[in-house]
Structure formats: structure tokens, C-alpha cells
Amino acid sequence: MTDEPTDADEAAAAVAGAAAAAAGEPRSPVSVAPGILIIVGGLLVAAWIGVGRFPFGIAGSLTPLYVFIALIILGLQAATGRALIRGARAGYAARGWTIAIVLCSWAFGILCGLTLPDATPSGLQTIVSGSHEPGLGIAIGVTNPAGMICAILSVAAVILAYRDARGGRPVYDEDGALDAWEQLHRH
């Protein structure tokens, strides 16, 4: 006989862990690294959207507007990271879908930053096209959907992260609500 765990041992441990979680028993904390990385990555993406045109010399009069938009994206990314950190401390790991949504929001944020036009003395310019047509028109056409998708995915990531922080349990527990209603209306 070996001391290595068998499939049956692993299954029993998984069932015991699920039962402990269902009973509300404390769980062991997991790594907070995903939450911290999301906050740092969100900061970098927000900086790219807000002031990414400065290194290319094309920051113009629209930069304050883009900084405001970047602060909103940063707030959403920070809320996502904070929720994942809180969940990790409670013993709940981030689900793959949450991380995938965050990574997709970053990709669209980077694309948005590349194609954001800014008003300069030479006219509208983007990082990828400069002031040259037809590239400028195409870049402007890409930046609006990319920015909206980035924002929508950032909101979705916050929602998923807060659900992950509760271990995937819904906020509204129908069974618990019915039990409470029955307790109130017993004769």
C-alpha cells in the first residue's frame, strides 16, 4: 500500500470541502496575486488610455477628457481587483471567466488607446495613423467600439469578481427568503 492519495481520497476531500463551504465554515485564504495584478494592469491600461499619446508627441486638447474616461476605467479595474483580494482572503479563488473578461477588457483598452484621436495644432491625430487619411478615419471608427467594449467588459468583470468574492453564491437566496417568510407567518 502506498501513502499517495487515490482518486477516492481526492473525491472525499472535495466533498468535505464543499460541505464545509456550504455550512459556512471558514476556508483557507488563497493567493491575492490575481487581484493585485488586476489593479496594476488596470492602472497601466488606464494610463495608456489617458496619457498614452504623450510619448508620441500628439497629446492635445482632448487629453483631459481622456484622463477622465481613464479614471472611470481605473475605478472599475480597482473595484474588480479589490473584490478578488477580498474573496481570496475569504478562501475563494477567482474564476477563469472573471480573469478572461479582465484580459479582454485590457485588450480593448489598449486598442482604444492606440486609436484615440487627439486635437493637435496639425489637426486630429492618432498613434497608429498620425493625421493621414484614410487611416485617421478608420482609427476613429475603431476607437469608439473599442472603448465601449472595454468599459462594458470592465463592468462585467466587477460583477463577476463580486460574485467570486462570495464563492459564487447569489446575493438573493430564494430558499433563505422562503424560510424567513415561513418563520414570520407561522401561527
Within-domain flag for 113: yes
Within-domain flag for 126: yes
**Going by C-beta distance under 8 Å and a sequence separation of 6 or more, which residues neighbour residue 8?**
none
**65 membership: H or E segment, kind and range:** helix 63-89
Count of domains for the chain:
1
Instruction: Quote the cell numbers at residue 73.
Output: 476605467
**Going by C-beta distance under 8 Å and a sequence separation of 6 or more, which residues neighbour residue 80?**
35, 38, 42, 98, 102, 154, 157, 158, 161
Alpha-carbon distance of 150 to 80, in angstroms, equals 14
Which of 174, 60, 163, 63 is closest to 120 using CA atoms? 60
Within-domain flag for 7: no
Interval 75-105: pLDDT, tens: 999 999 999 999 999 888 899 999 999 999 9
Phi-psi label, residue 91: left if phi above 0, alpha if psi -120 to 50, beta otherwise: left
Interval 97-127: pLDDT, tens: 999 999 999 999 999 999 999 998 888 999 9
Within-domain flag for 157: yes
Within-domain flag for 63: yes
Instruction: Quote the cell numbers at residue 94.
Output: 477567482
Within-domain flag for 6: no
CB-CB contact of 165 with 86 (8 Å): yes
User: Can you tell me whether residue 40 is helix, strand or coil?
Assistant: helix
CB-CB contact of 71 with 138 (8 Å): no
- Structure confidence at residue 25 (pLDDT): 56
Within-domain flag for 2: no
The residues pairing with 118 across neighbouring beta strands, listed in sequence order, are 125
Within-domain flag for 66: yes
Name which residue leads in pLDDT, 62 or 4: 62
Comparing 46-55, 91-100, 172-181, the range with the smallest average pLDDT is: 172-181
Comparing 7-16, 134-143, 165-174, the range with the smallest average pLDDT is: 7-16
Alpha-carbon distance of 173 to 179, in angstroms, equals 10
Q: Where residue 48 falls among pLDDT bands split at 50, 70, 90?
A: very high
- Average pLDDT of the residues in 65-81: 97
- Residue 135 structural domain: 38-167
- Structure confidence at residue 114 (pLDDT): 94
- Average pLDDT of the residues in 138-148: 94
Q: Where residue 21 falls among pLDDT bands split at 50, 70, 90?
A: low
Task: Tell me: pLDDT of 153 over 90.
Answer: yes
Share of the chain above pLDDT 90, in %: 55
